Amino acid sequence: MTGIALAGAVGLVLLFASPSYRQGEPSLAGSKAPEFAFELDGKPAKLADLRGRVVVLNFWATWCPPCVEEMPSLERLHQLMAARGVVVLGVSVDEDADAYERFLREWKITFPTYRDPSKKIAIAYETFMYPETYIIGTDGRVARKIIGAQRWDGAEMMQYLEQILK
Q: What is the CATH number of the domain that holds 69?
A: 3.40.30.10
Domain interval for residue 75: 26-165
Paired strand residues for 86: 54
Residue at 116 is within a domain: yes
pLDDT at 7: 52
Question: Coil, strand or helix: which one is 11?
Answer: helix
User: Considering the domain boundaries, does residue 98 fall inside one?
Assistant: yes
Inside any domain, residue 46: yes
Other CB atoms closer than 10 Å to residue 127's CB: what's the count?
Answer: 20
The pLDDT value given to residue 53 = 96
| Residue 12 included in any domain | no
**In the predicted model, what is the mean pLDDT of the chain?**
88
The segments of the chain whose pLDDT lies below 50 read: 10-23
31 belongs to a structural domain: yes
Domain-embedded: residue 148: yes
Res 8: pLDDT:
52
User: What is the number of domains present in the chain?
Assistant: 1
